[in-house]
Amino acid sequence: NAGVTQTPKFRVLKTGQSMTLLCAQDMNHEYMYWYRQDPGMGLRLIHYSVGEGTTAKGEVPDGYNVSRLKKQNFLLGLESAAPSQTSVYFCASSQWGQGAKNQPQHFGDGTRLSIL
Amino acid sequence: EDKVVQSPLSLVVHEGDTVTLNCSYEVTNFRSLLWYKQEKKAPTFLFMLTSSGIEKKSGRLSSILDKKELFSILNITATQTGDSAVYLCAVLYGGATNKLIFGTGTLLAVQP
């Protein structure tokens, strides 16, 4: 059972280049999330999706775009990479739940992205 | 502004010690509080606490939530070197979006 899989694991970009990070989950989860993790700042939500074909902005969405064309995949795009986007990016997914059935998020192993 | 604050920021102990990690929160529309353990890669889920005063246990780890005072603690007894990690506290909030707001984490180092 793979859970949440992120590709690539590492990438180095030059300023101004574009790239797409892929997240795939095999748990049939409705909800998917992209976070970035920076030293001293914890995990911050970039964008999220509550179902196939839907996306919404999180806490730090500027400079990123996302798409959820299939339920199992959530793509994070950087159109014109900047050094401030150097970070570790985590994808997560969860099932819908409320009250006593609140559901935890499950995370991928992360993508370490450096922008020079 | 919603926030989750963890303390201490870092902690060094010896094997066999007992540690207590703290998490306080001020979050609108609180639903649950979660603890995760992060070693080198993915945060892994430990506990979800929704009701006050009910202790959750898993082996040497336990956690409890106080919704009146807006805090939670994570206890680890008889620590082992494999407990070395960053421990993250997060609050699940809002309506149907299942969003989390995270603290910055506590770095625990267990020395042999």
What are the CA-CA distances from residue B86 to residues A93, A111, B7, B103, B105 (Å)? 21, 18, 12, 11, 6
- Tokens 């370490």, residue located: A112
Q: What is the pLDDT of residue B26?
A: 97
Is A104 within 8 Å of B43 when comparing Cβ atoms?
A: no
As a whole number of angstroms, the distance between CA A79 and CA B37 comes to: 32
Q: What is the pLDDT of residue A49?
A: 95
Is A31 within 8 Å of B97 when comparing Cβ atoms?
A: yes
Q: Which residues of chain B from 34 to 53 reach within 8 Å of chain A, CB to CB?
A: 34, 36, 41-45, 48, 50
Q: Is B59 left (phi over 0), alpha (psi -120 to 50) or beta?
A: left
Q: What is the pLDDT of residue A71?
A: 95
Mutate to test the interface with B, among A35, A89, A102 (most CBs of B within 10 A): A102
Q: What is the pLDDT of residue A40?
A: 83
Mutate to test the interface with A, among B39, B54, B89, B98 (most CBs of A within 10 A): B98
Q: What is the pLDDT of residue B21?
A: 98
Q: What is the pLDDT of residue A86?
A: 97
Q: Which of B32, B98, B104 sits opposite A31 (nearest CB)?
A: B98
Quick check: B87 and B99 in contact, CB under 8 A?
no
Q: What is the pLDDT of residue B95?
A: 75
Is B45 within 8 Å of A90 when comparing Cβ atoms?
A: no
Q: What is the pLDDT of residue A102?
A: 81
Instruction: Please identify every stretch of chain A with a pLDDT value under 50, giving residue numbers as ranges.
Output: none
Instruction: Please identify every stretch of chain B with a pLDDT value under 70, giving residue numbers as ranges.
Output: none
Residues facing residue B43 across a β-bridge: B38
Alpha-carbon gap: A61 to the closest alpha carbon of chain B (Å): 15
Mutate to test the interface with B, among A1, A105, A106 (most CBs of B within 10 A): A105
Strands B56-58 and B106-111: unpaired
Q: What is the pLDDT of residue A98?
A: 66
B28 to chain A, any CB pair closer than 8 A? The answer is no
Is B97 within 8 Å of A48 when comparing Cβ atoms?
A: yes
Size of interface A-B (CB pairs under 8 A): 63
Q: Which residues of A touch B36 (CB under 8 A)?
A: 107
